[in-house]
Amino acid sequence: MGGIQYYPSVGSTNDVAIQWAERGANDFSLVIADEQTNGRGRSGRRWFTNPGSGLAFSLILRPRGIGANGYLSLITRHTGLGALAVCQVLKYQYFLPSQIKWPNDVLIKDCKCCGVLVETQWCGDQLVSIVLGIGINFTQDAIPTADSVKMTATSVDLWLSTPVDRLDFLYHLLMEILDWRSQLWEEAFLEAWESSLAFIGKQVAIRTSNFQGENDMNLVVGQITGLEKDGGLKLRTLTGEDVVVRCGEIEDWRLVVL
């Protein structure tokens, strides 16, 4: 590890990590908390982390090389890196099948158990660090009541007969992140990421957004066909056109009538 900061309670581990990165934190430094009082998700949403209920941490990564497709690809691939690593731990350590709802959610049986939030730090036009924030629900206490009622979220322990040892999970997750990070620009990474995608071959509606995560009110409807090299989602629209969505998120597919 580059360094570790642990907090029994903190606003948001991403906020602490961003400040630490700006003060020069080493590559692979970790900020982790038992409770977050102001956890953040994508598009301005909140993320809840009650004490003892899950994992909430942020890793500071110093990217090496930007790949052929530039910074957008680097950032999207880091979102994929976090989600893929969680899927692999669930699969290989806990024998739990899980899938990635592009771009940043991990699902067990179509319900969200984990979210990934990637934020970047820049010096002029140079990307100098990436904060990879990951939140995982281990118990039902991690899930806001409204999401429990709508059954859109789940916790890992619902699918296991024994409680999850959080440190054990964290250890395996960090090992997966290290391993896949070294293959970030290889075909194997893209293949593993694509083969973990949820709703491949299914019709979905995607609410597109700008690079800052703000909705631009466009809805793209189509069948998911795979991943573009830069991490964008490939879709075949209802008129048979092949398009790539680079920023956005899949609308709640259970509410989409096509």
Kindly state the tokens that stand for 168: 């054990």
| Beta carbon of residue 117, minimum distance to ligand BTN (angstroms, whole number) | 4
R_g over Cα of the chain: 17
| Cβ-contact 206, 225 below 8 angstroms | no
Q: How many residues bind ligand BTN (CB under 6 A)?
A: 21
Q: Which residue is nearest to ligand BTN (CB)?
A: 115
> How is 100-125 classified by DSSP, letter by letter?
EETTTEEEETTEEEEEEEEEEEEETT
Residues 174, 58: Cα–Cα separation, whole Å: 11
Which amino acid type is present at position 158? L
Kindly state the tokens that stand for 106: 């991990």
| Beta carbon of residue 49, minimum distance to ligand BTN (angstroms, whole number) | 6
* By the rule CB under 6 A, 47 interacts with ligand BTN: yes
Of 172, 173, 137, residue with least CA distance to 157: 137
| Beta carbon of residue 46, minimum distance to ligand BTN (angstroms, whole number) | 9
* By the rule CB under 6 A, 39 interacts with ligand BTN: yes
Contacting ligand BTN within 120-139 (CB under 6 A): 133-135
Q: With respect to ligand BTN, which residue has the nearer C-beta, 117 or 227?
A: 117
Q: Could you tell me which stretch among 35-43, 78-86, 184-192, 229-237 binds ligand BTN (CB under 6 A)?
A: 35-43
| Cβ-contact 13, 57 below 8 angstroms | yes
Give the number of other Cβ atoms within 10 Å of residue 92's Cβ.
Answer: 11
Q: Between β-strands 3-10 and 29-40, what pairing exists: parallel, antiparallel or unpaired? A: parallel
Q: With respect to ligand BTN, which residue has the nearer C-beta, 105 or 157?
A: 105
* By the rule CB under 6 A, 76 interacts with ligand BTN: no
- If residue 57 lies in a helix (H) or strand (E), which one and from where to where? strand 54-61
- 216-255 footprint of ligand BTN as x/- string (CB under 6 A): ----------------------------------------
Coil, strand, or helix at residue 194? helix
* By the rule CB under 6 A, 103 interacts with ligand BTN: no
* By the rule CB under 6 A, 14 interacts with ligand BTN: yes
**Residue numbers at the binding site for ligand BTN (CB under 6 A):** 12-14, 36, 39-42, 45, 47, 56-58, 104-105, 115-117, 133-135
